[in-house]
Amino acid sequence: MVNLALPPLRQELDLLPAPTAPDGSPGWTLHDPANNRYYLLAWPAFEILSRWHLGSVAAVLEAVRRETTLDATETDLAEVTTFLQRNFLLDLPSAAGTDYLVAAARARKLGGATWLLHNYLFFRVPLFRPQRFLDTTSPLVGWIYTKVFLLIALVAAALGLYLASRQWDLFAHAFTAYRGGEALFALWCIIPLAKVIHEFGHAFTAHRFGCRIPAMGVAFVVMTPMLFTDTNEVWKLTSRRQRLAVGAAGVLAELILALAALWAWLLLPDGPWRGAAFMLATTTLLMTIALNASPFMRFDGYFFLSDLLGIPNLHARSFAFGRWWLRERLFGLKDPPPEPASRGRRRFLVGFAYAVWAYRFSVFIGIALLVYHYFFKALGIFLFGIEIGWFVLLPFYREGADWWKMRDRITLNFALFTTLLLVAGVIALLVVPWQGDVAAPGVLLPAREQQVSAPRGGMLLQTADDGTAKVRRGELLAKLQVPELEAQIKKAGTSAATSAWQAARQSFDPQLLSQGMVPQRRYEVDRSEQAGLEGERNRLTLRAPFDGTIVARNDEIAPGVWVSAKEPLYLLADTAGNRIDSYVGERDLKWLQPGARARFLPDASEFGPVSCTVADIDRVNVPEIDDPMLASSSGGPLPTRPDARGAQIPQTPVFRVRLDNCAPHTVPLVPLRGVVHIEAQKQSLLGEITRNAAALLVRESNL
């Protein structure tokens, strides 16, 4: 054994007892008061540190072996030394030690731009030191921690919820009653109050258990202010129950506040104060539970779960298990777990790690998008790239670098063979052009369809028989009469007859003869007006424009009934053939060609699939959707918005693709909605992703 001298520890360090480990071994906490940091020590590390004053490797190891049941080794002591050195817990008065500390300080020092880049998403601003205030006011709130208050709160909560349930309709409708500018202003006033009480809940509870609160202030998360309380000294507590109490105190304080607000809502008359009480009892409570109950970020829920399970540094330790599990499944290294743990705990830590990673992935993507939209375009794109690179891509890169370092240990086995097959399958899925069709919403229609409407307001003289379904081209559907038009025709006829008589008598009447061509021109005008009015009357006789079927009839029409202009009377369809109209997006349009095969799958299960051919492709996007059942306002798949006329305007460019030569010859009496799969040029998934990403980049950068 090499008898090397050990560097001395810093004199101000404290060793404090900690809760026992899950395996029953004693735990200890090393406190660094200069940095206000706490380090949880395992039993071997504590035994080594408690004998560090012996001064040499040999003396420390011999004392540990003699005085305890541990078989400490030089490796154990080297790990403790490395831990002390990395966290600057050693006293290094020599020149070499000073040089080491200076070099470490320089390495940790960041330039202005680098510091801003690393800290603009999250930074803290301490506002005041609450210790003296807590010392003075703690006796005033001691009654809150009594069993009597707990019993009163439980009874008040049960009674308040019961009384609120008796007015449940009023309580539920309050969500819509308290809205607008006043409610928003009240919310902005109430949230800070609730958060101050939340933080003082942590502070008073920690102070009650003897912890010092060095600072309270505001933390900015993506430029959003959030209050914080420095409760690091909670690590001094040996009671797990006390730690849990400190972790839950904030939410419990807001629960008590919400209970008081609920009773205020029950007792106050309608008005702004009752609205504020409702907001405080509901909105702020839901917000704090949603934010603080999650264990996936380092908020109250995380520390509560960590103390409840007795697993300090839960995130870091679960991440180690997650990486270990992944490497074992991919490469079959047969490495031991990062630390001893039961099978159930290993499964929990692995599952928890992947849940945290999935949650954080979505959060980081959301933060990147928020940063992108928060700043101006150029800076937003730059910061978006930084966020994606730092929080999303960099962890993958680091894990890949670790895999590369262990490449000499990776040998062909069942796990690696399975991994290679999966990788090959994913590459084939991305690279091989296997996607050969385009799916688009469509509607199956008769070959021709026409709505028969009244050309102008009038009275129906005649209609098609109610039992009529099939009609022939030219067959009478309806006949209208307009009394004003008949009067105009009669007047025009009289005028035309008069002007005709004058034109015929002109050569025998000197007075008419003196008028020259005027009588003849007047006759022509009157005759033209009469013909126009008679043509207008002929338009009131509605006939079938083609052979077809009446598929819809206005139930209110009958002889003698008055109808308004453009009022629909019949819907006539040509059931001798059919057609399909589908709508594709801009990115799919370039892959389609006329003559391509297509398959229509109707939504109605009683109709089977229909095979068709692409007949025509619009090269200009449609200004409005002619088939309302495809519009989102009618439950269809196409996102639309109604305009002032009620027409459905597509929110994104869509192009109509018309299909014909459909078989079997299915002709529904009403339009039939479904999905059309159109044969298209095959393309790879990777190419599609690349094109979409490039299009998105060009569009968002305004290039």
Whole-angstrom distance, CA of residue 61 vs CA of residue 70: 10
Domain that holds residue 57: 14-108
pLDDT of 506 > 80? The answer is no
| Residue 117: both structure tokens together | 């880049």
Neighbour order of strands in the sheet with 541-543: 541-543, 476-481, 458-463, 562-563
Looking up tokens 């949650």, which residue turns up? 359
Does 217 lie in the same domain as 273? yes
pLDDT of 421 > 90? The answer is yes
pLDDT given for residue 543 in this prediction: 84
DSSP H or E stretch at residue 17: strand 14-18
Residue 430 lies in a domain: no
Tally of domains in the chain:
5
Whole-angstrom distance, CA of residue 389 vs CA of residue 397: 10
Residue 497 lies in a domain: yes
Residue 428 lies in a domain: no
Please write down the HEC assignment for all residues of 252-315: HHHHHHHHHHHHHHHHCCCCHHHHHHHHHHHHHHHHHHHHHCCCCCCCHHHHHHHHHHCCCCHH
Backbone angles phi, psi at 675, to 5 degrees: -120, 135
Cβ atoms of residues 526 and 492 within 8 Å: yes
Does 646 lie in the same domain as 545? no
- The 3-state DSSP class for residue 99 equals helix
Cβ atoms of residues 454 and 566 within 8 Å: yes
Q: What percentage of residues in the chain have a pLDDT greater than 70?
A: 88
More reliable by pLDDT, 469 or 328: 328
Whole-angstrom distance, CA of residue 193 vs CA of residue 190: 5
Cβ atoms of residues 656 and 581 within 8 Å: yes
Does 305 lie in the same domain as 168? yes
pLDDT of 202 > 90? The answer is yes
Residue 431 lies in a domain: no
pLDDT given for residue 114 in this prediction: 63
At 591, the pLDDT band (50, 70, 90 cuts) reads confident
| Residue 529: both structure tokens together | 């007006």
Does 391 lie in the same domain as 531? no
* Single pTM value for the model: 0.68
Cβ atoms of residues 599 and 676 within 8 Å: yes
Does 610 lie in the same domain as 662? yes
Q: What percentage of residues in the chain have a pLDDT greater than 90?
A: 15
Whole-angstrom distance, CA of residue 307 vs CA of residue 244: 6
Cβ atoms of residues 89 and 30 within 8 Å: yes
- The 3-state DSSP class for residue 319 equals helix
Whole-angstrom distance, CA of residue 690 vs CA of residue 486: 69
At 216, the pLDDT band (50, 70, 90 cuts) reads very high
pLDDT of 691 > 80? The answer is no
Strands 597-602 and 562-563: what pairing? unpaired
How far, in Å, are 191, 405, 410, 421 from residue 417 at the CA level?
A: 56, 20, 11, 6
pLDDT given for residue 352 in this prediction: 95
- Write down the mean pLDDT value for the chain: 82
pLDDT of 203 > 90? The answer is yes
pLDDT given for residue 249 in this prediction: 92
Does 624 lie in the same domain as 547? no
Looking up tokens 């109430």, which residue turns up? 190
Of 108, 134, 163, the domain-final residue:
108
pLDDT given for residue 138 in this prediction: 92
How large is the average pLDDT for residues 377-382?
Answer: 76
At 168, the pLDDT band (50, 70, 90 cuts) reads confident
| Highest mean pLDDT (candidates 31-45, 269-283, 456-470) | 31-45
Residue 424 lies in a domain: no
Does 192 lie in the same domain as 283? yes
Residue 498 lies in a domain: yes
Does 651 lie in the same domain as 519? no
Of 289, 309, 329, the domain-final residue:
309
Does 688 lie in the same domain as 587? yes
Dihedral over alpha carbons 582, 588, 591, 594 (to 10 degrees): 20
pLDDT digits (tens, 9 = 90+) for 40-59: 888 888 888 888 888 888 88
pLDDT given for residue 301 in this prediction: 86
pLDDT given for residue 620 in this prediction: 86
Residue 454 lies in a domain: yes
Q: Supply the CATH number for residue 610's domain.
A: 2.40.30.170
More reliable by pLDDT, 127 or 493: 127
Does 277 lie in the same domain as 148? yes
pLDDT given for residue 113 in this prediction: 62
pLDDT of 351 > 90? The answer is yes
* Position 648, amino acid: Q
Hey, what long-range contacts does 453-456 have (CB within 8 A, 24 or more apart)?
453/566, 453/567, 453/568, 453/569, 454/478, 454/480, 454/563, 454/564, 454/565, 454/566, 454/567, 454/569, 455/480, 455/539, 455/540, 455/542, 455/565, 455/566, 456/480, 456/482, 456/540, 456/565
Residue 244 lies in a domain: yes
Does 154 lie in the same domain as 254? yes
More reliable by pLDDT, 246 or 628: 246
Measure CA 680 to chain center: 32
pLDDT digits (tens, 9 = 90+) for 71-101: 888 888 888 888 888 888 888 776 666 666 6
Cβ atoms of residues 199 and 228 within 8 Å: yes
Does 598 lie in the same domain as 514? no
Cβ atoms of residues 27 and 45 within 8 Å: no
pLDDT given for residue 232 in this prediction: 85
More reliable by pLDDT, 109 or 571: 571
pLDDT of 269 > 70? The answer is yes
Whole-angstrom distance, CA of residue 326 vs CA of residue 335: 11
Of 269, 285, 309, the domain-final residue:
309
pLDDT of 541 > 90? The answer is no
Whole-angstrom distance, CA of residue 225 vs CA of residue 188: 12
pLDDT of 404 > 80? The answer is yes
How large is the average pLDDT for residues 537-549?
Answer: 82
